[in-house]
Amino acid sequence: MKVTMTVNGKSMSGEAEGRTLLSSFLREELGLTGTHVGCDTSQCGACTVHVDGRQVKACTMFAAEAEGTDVTTIEGMANADGSLNTIQQAFQDYHGLQCGFCTPGMVMAASSLLEQNPKPSETEIREHLHGNICRCTGYHNIVKAIMAASGQDVPAVAAE
């Protein structure tokens, strides 16, 4: 079947079977390979995107369920001029990523958190990230990056 949705502000269509997951559709049909797949039990959160403004693991939806929705992926997160947005920039400034594989999901989850809770505490950040696994950073610098992105005072990690 043909499935159409708005992705990062553009109307996009592609072919999907009934069983095609939104995560596969984004990667294979639309070529948006920034959305990663790190597990097959909806546990790791690497495929986190926004659907109609809500944080969703793209592997928990069929592509067909996303028909007519407004989807944002990591490819749609940078500023209009291509520069890193506040959250992305904080992840770089605070070394909140290493191998980069979980990173798209982390950025999407962080963005969703800050929309709901503009000044989260460390505990609130850690709890919000419960569905996103990172194997590289120990979350230490991800938590710092999100606190910094929310405008809270966090001592610098990277040099200027």
The residues binding another protein (CB under 8 A) are 17, 19, 27-28, 32-41, 43-44, 46, 73-75, 77-78, 84, 88, 91-93, 95, 97-104, 107, 122-123, 125-127, 129-130, 132-143, 157-159
Distances (CA, A) of 117 to 67, 75, 124: 29, 23, 9
Q: Which is nearer to another protein, 20 or 69 (CB)?
A: 20
Measured between alpha carbons, how far is 138 from 133 in angstroms, rounded to an integer? 10
Specify whether the CB–CB gap between 4 and 68 falls below 8 A: yes
To another protein, the closest distance from the beta carbon of 84 in angstroms equals 6
Partner residues linked to 107 by β-bridges: none
Q: Of 2 and 19, which has the nearer Cβ to another protein?
A: 19
In whole angstroms, what is the distance from residue 49 CA to residue 106 CA?
10
Cβ-based nearer residue to another protein, 68 or 119: 119
| Least gap, CB of 22 to another protein (angstroms) | 15
Nearest approach, Cβ of 119 to another protein (angstroms)? 18
Q: Residue 33: phi, psi to the nearest 5?
A: -85, 5
User: Which of 15, 68 has the CB closer to another protein?
Assistant: 15
Shortest spacing between CB 13 and another protein, in angstroms: 19
For residue 42, with 0-12 CB atoms within 10 Å meaning exposed, 13-18 middle and 19 or more buried, which class applies?
Answer: middle
